[in-house]
Structure 1
Amino acid sequence: MKKIDTYEQKEKALNWMVEMAEHPLKPLEKDERTKNIYERTSAAVQEYNERQYKPSEYPQQDEVVDKVVENIEEKPDAVNLDEWF
């Protein structure tokens, strides 16, 4: 299986996967070769997504969980409601 390098290649691979999954003759269940190609295509798409989105500006889930835990452990300051009204 070729390495997926562009967004267009990823979209083409995903469209093919959807087509195979929804095909009325169910080629994934009956043809071992098609099933192997499907699995390799799926792995290539996942690899592309990891390369593309891992260094993104969005924090990883572990970082978000750590930040939430830190915020929960900190005791909030007392709020003076007289200042609000």
Structure 2
Amino acid sequence: MAETREEWIKKRAYALWEEEGHPTGRDSIHWEQARHERDALEGTAATSKSKEAKPRAKRTVASAKTNGGVTPAPKRTASRKTAS
């Protein structure tokens, strides 16, 4: 049976608490660290799956126009001042 996300975080937070020598009052810190580690793992897994399934489309000027009417600003070039 696969463990749930919550169970994984609970076990990881407990392991962090043990690694630090059973400190008092750091339970929320261990929980947050375990949650962040799980988020990172899920983000890595989701990213690798999405890249395999479908590559991202490149953004073009046409898509920018359909995306709320935003168009990219023209590129500026540096102007050189001449000595007079």
TM (normalized to structure 1)?
0.39
Q: Which has a greater percent of helix?
A: 1
Rg comparison, structure with higher value:
2
TM (normalized to structure 2)?
0.40
Relative contact order, higher structure (CA 8 A, sep 6+) = 1
